């Protein structure tokens, strides 16, 4: 079955109004669904650290924060393959993970069921992590 997000649906409706019958467009969407897609790229782990400001340090001219919680999401080629898998039966993902801190279990847990991951180990290297620090109330970026 083809899953169509609301954004794709809006494009579908506006295109069908200006370019002809919706049945032709629907057929093209089903053609896309049956194609086999391959994604080649780096998996990035997006870590979001939610913090509470404590105030200025007495000794140093810097602000102090208390970490409240951390959330991690699949980014980079992993996120792209998950998005493409919403309108495709099969997606193959070829990427690398580091030899230490490789997060293989996290990646396999957070990848869509119709994505086939082929992960190669990169020696003497970690898996790429990107960290952001946010105020836990306003969700504004701190750093």
What pLDDT, on the 0 to 100 scale, is given for residue 43?
94
What pLDDT, on the 0 to 100 scale, is given for residue 51?
94
What pLDDT, on the 0 to 100 scale, is given for residue 34?
67
What pLDDT, on the 0 to 100 scale, is given for residue 88?
82
What pLDDT, on the 0 to 100 scale, is given for residue 1?
37
Q: In what order do the strands lie in the sheet with 37-40?
A: 37-40, 91-100, 115-126
99 CB contacts (<8 Å, ≥6 apart)? 121, 122, 123, 124, 125
Spans of the chain below 70 pLDDT:
1-36
What pLDDT, on the 0 to 100 scale, is given for residue 15?
64
What pLDDT, on the 0 to 100 scale, is given for residue 58?
77
Note whether 114 and 37 are within 8 A (CB).
Answer: no
What pLDDT, on the 0 to 100 scale, is given for residue 2?
46
Helix ranges, 20-54 (H): 22-34
């Amino acid at each position: 079955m083809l899953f169509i997000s609301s954004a794709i649906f809006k494009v579908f409706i506006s295109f069908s109004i200006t370019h002809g019958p919706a049945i032709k467009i629907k057929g093209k969407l089903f053609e896309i669904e049956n194609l086999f897609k391959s994604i080649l790229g780096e998996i990035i782990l997006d870590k979001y650290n939610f913090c509470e400001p404590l105030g200025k340090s007495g000794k140093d001219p810097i602000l102090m924060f208390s970490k409240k919680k951390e959330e991690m999401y699949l980014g980079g080629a992993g996120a792209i393959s998950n998005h493409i898998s919403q309108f495709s039966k099969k997606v193959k993902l070829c990427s690398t993970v580091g030899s230490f801190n490789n997060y293989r279990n996290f990646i396999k847990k957070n990848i869509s069921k119709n994505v086939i991951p082929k992960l190669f180990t990169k020696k003497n290297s970690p898996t790429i992590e990107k960290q952001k620090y946010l105020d836990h109330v306003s969700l504004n970026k701190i750093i």
